[in-house]
Structure 1
Amino acid sequence: MGCLNLSNETRHPYTARTSAPLTLLVGVLILLTVFGNVVVVIALTTSRALRAPQNLFLLSLACADILVATSVMPFSLANELMGYWYFGKVWCEIYLALDVFFCTSSIVHLCAISLDRYWSITRAIEYNLLRTPRRIKSTVFIVWVLAALISFPPLITMKKDEGKEDRPECKINDELWYIVFSSTASFFAPCAIMVLVYVRIYQVAKQRTRAPPGERSRENGNQQDPKCIADEQEEEGKVRGEEEVDEEQSSSDENEVALCSRTKKRWRAETAAAASRWKGRQRRERRLTLVLAVVVGVFVLCWFPFFFTYTLTAVCPCCVPETLFKMFFWLGYCNSSLNPVIYTVFNHDFRRAFKKILCKKGR
């Protein structure tokens, strides 16, 4: 979101002693954001283990974070240090539009990812058949279009305030309707959807039995071969002495029992293999769900303070200290650099891909 200058009394609000470490800190943040997300893009496009169609959401999200670091953050820093907008009216409007657009795009991406997780868990068979790269790409395109529809119209129609000639300003409209609309559409509504979806995912995962479907149906396994049922019934009849058989019939029954035994063994082996594959898929799904839940949680922690105080300024402009507001503003930007760290800490496939990329570069 664009920087809101709650008060702008001086042309140069920072001394040289303060500006130097602040510039260094933000410069490091920009470099880490670009480097980390570029590595994520390379990993997602080169690692075979990360080529699942749903990871296209993460690829698009990383691109959005790179664009924030390269086209928004440097100008936010310059505007903050100088105390006025140096880059002209046209770029001011572009800068504000991109800032709101990329922020909204990030949270709409996360909202789409959470819904994708939910459908893949609750409707695994039919949804995974539809989860093709083409469909995911179409969904990513819709995400960007939706973010643009939320972000651009209010910016285009809002009343511009150029400030004084010797101290031009570049700030988002501070009218009540815009603040409420922007905060609700760009953050609070998608955030509520994500939280509800992940609560539902947790409930579904908790309700599910730990045994894979193959093991649950093991007790009915003999139904796969009618001969096995007949053999077992006949066996029970023999034990109870309810019927007699001659030697020829007994020999035939023994052959059928042997065939049924082999069928059972083959079925059990196939069931064990299916259960092993199922457990492997479940582990991968749980790991990815954990990573995405952490990504969403960190995003909320980084951006909620800003949007809360931003909304509060609409009701009570003097209730939010300027220094606190600026801290929350930059905390939101920090989120763009944290996603690569989350992937590295919580996902083995990403760690392995990152090590491979970095080791190759180091050679």
Structure 2
Amino acid sequence: MSTNSSPSASEQLCYQNMTGSCAKAPYSPGPRLILYTLFSLGAVLAVFGNLLVVISILHFKQLHSPTNFLIASLACADFLVGVTVMPFSMVRSVEGCWYFGPSFCTFHTCCDVAFCYSSLFHLCFISIDRYIAVTEPLVYPTKFTVSVSGTCIGISWILPLVYSGAVFYTGAYDDGLEELSRAVNCVGGCQTVVNQNWVLIDFLSFFIPTLVMIILYSNIFLVARQQAKKIEDTGGKIELSSASYKSRVAKRERKAAKTLGITVVAFMISWLPYSIDSLIDAYMGFITPAYIYEICCWCAYYNSAMNPLIYALFYPWFRKALKIIMSGWVFEDSSPTMNLFSEQM
């Protein structure tokens, strides 16, 4: 975890006339403008990109499916990161100061952790959904229903919110590190010093679901290869209508699993540096330089902006939904029933 060093006489302070104020970050106007532009772009993409995903799925009836409801809920978590976390972290990262008060600092940290774990839980449930869809495509609709999806969404929100609230609002996160916490939190700072026990729990909470997703997606792609080979082997034979339908359903589910697999890989790449840095930092005496910590944080935050870009690249239905929304056709009475797919499965 980064720490605020005590300011020297030549440094600008967050609060000039206050004893114990943190020192402002020593960025000149040029780099400061570049950083604000870079971080603002991430926040705007996270807010508007995920808002478009939610609108698309909820508005168009053709997209009302258990998987898409999970995707919409995941987009809500990423949207909230863009609204409640990224703008304030941007000021902290560029200015080196926290101007929003200690109470909001706790709320901000709580939201940061809660929405991260909410995204992780959503992705884990999506991987389970895709595993069932690919391995058992014909019985999948009876196994992963809308009610099951709703239960998964509820768990993905309630557990992270309860966990983060319990840890940060009770003060359990810095048990045994009270003196260090007071030392690093100068006036105008928002640094959270987490003890080794909670850091280890956080890391395992990230690592175990990630491992589950890796195992499931590995099995998914093994099954997909077997299915593709089987279809190729029978390609020259006369197919019965039921076999043809099964092959088309399997192909559709494999394609969806591939796209969502890319989303999972992007999440892991984005959050792994922060998770590893937090673990090392806690056991090595919080030695991470401030700029390294901020880079790790923003790699994680930018994940919230990446998912809509992934959907736009790999989901034709999302591109068509965007076109309808941006053109204003979404306000027509018939828009909820518009066909977003090039062909019906």
- Residue 6 of structure 1 pairs with residue 19 of structure 2: no
CA distance in 1, matches of 2:296, 2:266: 14
What is the identity percentage for the equivalent residue pairs of Structure 1 and Structure 2? 30
Alignment match, 1:95: 108
Alignment match, 2:68: 55
| Larger CA deviation: 111-120 vs 278-287 | 278-287
CA distance in 2, matches of 1:165, 1:334: 26
1:124-143 to 2 correspondences below 5 Å: 124-143=137-156
Alignment match, 1:241: none
Change (3 A) 1:46 1:273: farther
Q: Given residue 302 of structure 1, which amino acid in structure 2 is its aligned partner?
A: S
CA distance in 2, matches of 1:166, 1:188: 33
Pairwise CA distance, 1:313: 0.8
Change (3 A) 1:22 1:274: same
Alignment match, 1:181: 201
Highest CA radius of gyration, 1 or 2?
1
Structure 1: runs of 5 or more not aligned: 219-267
CA distance in 2, matches of 1:123, 1:274: 15
CA distance in 1, matches of 2:62, 2:329: 20
Alignment match, 2:274: 306
Change (3 A) 1:362 1:125: closer
Q: Given residue 329 of structure 1, which amino acid in structure 2 is its aligned partner?
A: C
Q: Calculate the TM-score normalised by the size of structure 1.
A: 0.76
Q: How many residues align?
A: 305
CA contact (8 A) 1:96 1:171 kept: no
Alignment match, 1:197: 216
CA contact (8 A) 2:263 2:310 kept: yes
1:340-359 to 2 correspondences below 5 Å: 340-359=308-327
Q: Given residue 87 of structure 1, which amino acid in structure 2 is its aligned partner?
A: F
1:104-143 to 2 correspondences below 5 Å: 104-143=117-156
Alignment match, 1:79: 92
Pairwise CA distance, 1:71: 0.5
Structure with the higher helix share, 1 or 2: 1
CA distance in 2, matches of 1:69, 1:314: 27
1:204-219 to 2 correspondences below 5 Å: 204-208=223-227, 210-211=229-230
CA RMSD of superposed structures (Å): 2.6
Q: What is the CA deviation profile of residues 236-268 of structure 1, one whole-angstrom value per residue up to 9, with x for unaligned ones?
A: xxxxxxxxxxxxxxxxxxxxxxxxxxxxxxxx8
1:123-272 to 2 correspondences below 5 Å: 123-155=136-168, 156=170, 157-159=172-174, 161-162=181-182, 167-185=187-205, 187-208=206-227, 210-211=229-230, 272=240
Alignment match, 1:324: 292
CA distance in 1, matches of 2:110, 2:254: 37
Q: Given residue 158 of structure 1, which amino acid in structure 2 is its aligned partner?
A: Y
Q: Calculate the TM-score normalised by the size of structure 2.
A: 0.80
